[in-house]
Amino acid sequence: MKARITLEEYVAGGALMQLATLTAGGAPQACSVWYDFGFGPDVLRWISRHDRAHSLSIGDDPRVAGAIVSIPLEGLGQTVRGVSFTGHAQELPLEGIDRQITQFVARWPAASGALDPIRLAAGQTPTRLYELHIMQWVLFDEENFPDDPRQVVAAL
């Protein structure tokens, strides 16, 4: 239970996640995106242009992985704290996602123009909202779990 609570704190406190996707040819690629989150069910959401390489890859293969670092980076030798995850991602539809848009914009107000529901529904913005359904979390925390820092945490 402590691992789940710690994981949720780290995800909620983070801002940028590294996302790995697979190209149509199976080559891995990574990018960094600003994210929003939900728990129970566990999801991560981000915005991106629909013509970006990682966005196109999700259309070909929805399997993704990623990580969120939960410490300010100062240098080698720091105690590591963060999470990694695997799951399936999808581009959300252009309509009927008002709750997801509202939640994302509440966290990232600068996204309001890119996620304007009227412009989005009309296809007048290149930006889309993506959602990742978590299949598995891994909490890596050398501070709170020094004897066993790798904690597999079930997705809800």
Q: What is the CATH number of the domain that holds 91?
A: 2.30.110.10
Give the pLDDT mean for 28-39.
97
| Gap between the Cα atoms of 144 and 146, Å rounded | 6
Number of domains composing the chain: 1
Give the pLDDT mean for 44-69.
96
**Rounded mean pLDDT of the chain?**
95
Of the CA atoms within 13 Å of residue 18, those in its CB half-sphere come to 11
pLDDT of residue 15: 94
pLDDT of residue 92: 97
Dihedral angle sign, alpha carbons of residues 45, 38, 8, 28: negative
Torsion of the alpha carbons at 10, 13, 14 and 15, rounded to the nearest 10 = 160
Domain boundaries, position 121: 2-154
Q: Strand, coil or helix: what is 133?
A: strand
pLDDT of residue 74: 86
The pTM of this model reads: 0.93
Q: Strand, coil or helix: what is 76?
A: coil
Smallest CA-to-CA distance from 43 within 78, 90, 81 is with 90
29 close to 39: Cβ distance less than 8 angstroms: no
pLDDT of residue 73: 83
107-146: per-residue pLDDT in tens?
999 999 999 999 999 999 999 999 999 999 999 999 999 9
Structure confidence at residue 79 as a pLDDT band (50, 70, 90): confident
Structure confidence at residue 93 as a pLDDT band (50, 70, 90): very high
pLDDT of residue 77: 86
* Residue 42 identity: D
pLDDT of residue 80: 86
pLDDT of residue 71: 84
